Structure 1
Amino acid sequence: MKYTLLATLLLSGVITIAQTSTKTVTLLSPLAIYSSEWNKPVYAKCNTAAKAIYMTKTEREVIYILNLVRNYPVQFANTVLKTYPDKTNRGWISNTSYYESLMDTLLKMEPVNLLMPDKKCYTSAECHATTSGKLGYVGHERQSSYCTQKQDYNAECCDYGNDNALDIVLSLLIDEDVPSLGHRWACIGPYIKIGVSIKPHIGYRYNSVLDFSF
């Protein structure tokens, strides 16, 4: 136990010391700020990319959070999605039909399989995120023959402007102004493998590419 010295008073030869203990709280889950429940060991199985060191910590967290959504959709809706707009000063989100439809989808959703990190999917995503960022490109078409050769996915999501794992995941799940909800269905679809890459983007500061495959 650590102690912090608050005051030392010398009065008539007597030393008075006030002490207070400090505790360190470890947040094991990227969703812990929304509920301490997420810190329980049972959820660690969703951290499938923990040892995929070819991805950054944030890229691995995207997979972790996606797996938590896929395996615990109702709990995610009630603890994270419900409070996310206010916690992030984005209250306007909760008033959109896309947010409401995501809430409805998750509350009715059955758990689906975990996504496993895949090096080929990552290489595909990383090449596209890198070239898109340097060129300021927005979209799915590969911008070099090299990236075309490395392309490997059955579904792909691209997000722009976010570099926080939860922000990226919720941006794709809410899928604002995308009538087909293509990003949402990819994120909770029956895919098995995933690669995630987050790179700088000259137009939006950041761009993220998530490549999914069977």
Structure 2
Amino acid sequence: MAQLLSFILLLFVIDGLAARPAGWLQKELLTANTGKDAAYLNQVERETLMYLNLARLYPKRFVELELAHYWGNDKHGNFLTNSSYKESLIKEMSSMQPVQAFYPDRVMSASARCFALEKERIGGRTHERLSCKTDRFAECISFGMDNGREIALQLLIDHLVPSLGHRWLCLNSDINKVGLGFAKHKTAGVSLVLEMDFYYTQ
């Protein structure tokens, strides 16, 4: 009976995900799903948060289950074939120690959603805000990926981004609060804005 109840709980916790995580243990999914009770997050935002947490909490398992055999998708093709960026992430995560999970923040999520909706209206791929308040949070933006797994992978792999700034932030052990905002995008189809409690002083 206890095992049945645990299985039902797991289904409830991850119900509605665009892609059911394969190979992960129940306790790993429960630990990573820190946004499950955040009513202000939508499905894609919760899913993105969970996959980023799986990468942070279980880096070697993430390489095995999510990264090693990911080459792209139907929409964008196999754009990661022979990608040195993917290979460098595999190397980094295979030797890194686990770091604390991200937890969602309501205020930061409101800021992220405001900017995502602004992008829906006007498009563009910069971090410059027009009508939304400019905060000093660190910020990542994913373009063109419509589910949490691929958003997380895009930010972590950082394909063709020489600075690897998104990856550095997503795996940074000093960050634990984040805000997420997912919306349609005028030119990219969709975008997700990720705000982080890492404050730039310059």
TM range (shorter): 0.7 to 0.9
Establish whether residue 85 from structure 1 lines up as the match of residue 68 from structure 2. Answer: no
Answer yes or no: is the 8 Å Cα contact 1:134–1:202 preserved in 2.
Answer: yes
Runs of 4+ with >6 A deviation: none
2:148 corresponds to? 165
Which is higher, the Rg of structure 1 or of structure 2?
A: 1
For the pair 1:108 / 2:108, whether they are aligned, the reply is no
Deviation at 1:27, TM superposition (A): 9.6
Aligned to 1:44: 30
Structure 2 residue aligned with 1:175: 158
Unmatched 5+ stretches in structure 2: 1-10
Which among 123, 131, 153 is matched to residue 118 of structure 2?
Answer: 131
2: CA distance between counterparts of 1:92 and 1:201?
21
Which structure has greater strand proportion? 1
Kindly state the Cα deviation for residue 130 of structure 1 after the two structures are TM-superposed.
0.5
Give how far 1:34 is off.
3.6
TM-score (norm 2): 0.83
User: Could you tell me how far apart the structure 2 residues matched to 1:152 and 1:49 are?
Assistant: 22
User: Are 1:200 and 2:184 counterparts?
Assistant: yes
| 3-state SS of paired residue (1:176) | coil
CA spacing shift, 1:181–1:197, aligned 2, 3 Å: same
RMSD: 2.3
Give the conservation status (yes or no) of the 8 Å contact 2:13–2:30. no
Is 1:64 the counterpart of 2:47? The answer is no
Contact 2:13/2:36, CA 8 A, preserved across alignment = no
CA contact (8 A) 1:161 1:205 kept: yes
In structure 2, the residue matched to 1:209 is 193
Distance 1:139 1:185 in 2: 19
Taking CA–CA contacts closer than 8 Å with sequence separation of 6 or more, which of the two structures ends up with the larger relative contact order?
Answer: 2
Partner Cα distance (1:140, 1:97) in 2: 26
Shift of 1:94: 3.9
Contact 1:120 1:152 in 2 (8 A): no
Change (3 A) 1:84 1:202: same
Aligned to 1:23: none
Alignment partners' CA distance in 2, 1:94 and 1:153: 36
SS in 1 for 2:71: helix
Count of residues in correspondence between the two structures: 184
Q: Name the CA shift for 1:91/1:200 in 2 (closer, same or farther; >3 Å).
A: closer
